[in-house]
Amino acid sequence: AGSAMAAVRDVEIDPEGTFKYILVRLQRPGAGEQRDIVRGTRAAEFHNHIFEKVNPEMEKLGYECKCLGGGKIEHNSKDKKIRVFGLSTGYGKADHSVTVEILKKVYTDYEITWSDDKK
């Protein structure tokens, strides 16, 4: 069971630009295991568009998804910087400090910051 959850990538975000993101908690029904993942894309006009894409993918793998909130990510791959900020009107503000810790696992050589700024 652990392998299936391990197969889910911690982070899937666009390589460049500023876009909406959500923090999603995956949980296997009846099991204690859970983990949080970050998903973000410019293709999503609203935060729920991201969730509506992630949720069925994770359900197929046997996970329940819960959106813990959202915000925005500014990804500058040239300067290796990521800034996490803002909030989701629908889901509320994600805990950006948690998001940053997850991003650091993947973007190990990046400077990653967060703030509660709206812009």
45-96 pLDDT, tens digit each: 999 999 999 999 999 999 999 999 999 999 999 999 999 999 999 999 999 9
Question: What is the Cα–Cα distance from 21 to 109, expressed in whole angstroms?
Answer: 21
Residue 4 lies in a domain: no
Q: How many structural domains does the chain have?
A: 1
Residue numbers in the known binding site for substrate are: 20
Model confidence, pTM: 0.93
pLDDT of residue 1: 46
Catalytic residues: 47
pLDDT of residue 85: 98
Give the CATH number of the domain where residue 71 resides.
3.50.20.20
48, two tokens: 């729920």
pLDDT of residue 97: 98
Please determine, for residue 4, whether its predicted confidence score (pLDDT) is greater than 80: no
Residue numbers in the known binding site are: 20
**pLDDT tier, 21 (very low <50, low <70, confident <90, very high otherwise):** very high
Residue 1 lies in a domain: no
